[in-house]
A and B are shown apart, each in its own frame.
Chain A
Amino acid sequence: MKKTKFSNSRRDFLKVLGHLTGALFLNIDGFSKNLLAQTKELTLEPQVFPGKEKMIILSRKPIVLEMPPEGFEYFITPNELFFVRNNTSMPELNVKDWRLTITGEVKKPLVLTMEDLKKFKEVEALITLECYGNGRSFFEPKASGNQWKKGGIGTALWKGVRLKDVLEKAHLTDKAKHVIFDGADEPFTPGSPDFRRSIPIEKALSPETLLVYEMNGQPLPIYHGYPLRVVVPGWGGAASVKWLINITVSDREYDGFYMVDKYRHPKNPVKPGTKLSPKDMFVLTELEVKSIITNPHNESKLSSEKILIKGYAWTGEGYIKKVEVSTDGGRTWQRAKIVRNEGKYVWCSWEFEWRPPQKGYYTLMSKATDNRGRTQPFIPYWNQDGYLYNSIDMVNVYVE
Chain B
Amino acid sequence: MPFNQKKRPKEQVELISFFDIFFILFVFFLVTSFVVRMPLQERILYIPTPENTLGRAQIVVQFIDEANVFWLDEEVSSLVTEIEENYGYLSDTRLRDRIFDELFNQNVLTLEELDKKLSELRLRANQNPDLEYFLLIRCPNEISYFRVLDVITAISETSFRNIKYGCVGGTFDEIRQCRRIYTVVEIDADGNRRKNIRIDF
* A complexed with B: no
Q: Give A residues with C-beta under 8 Å from B.
A: none
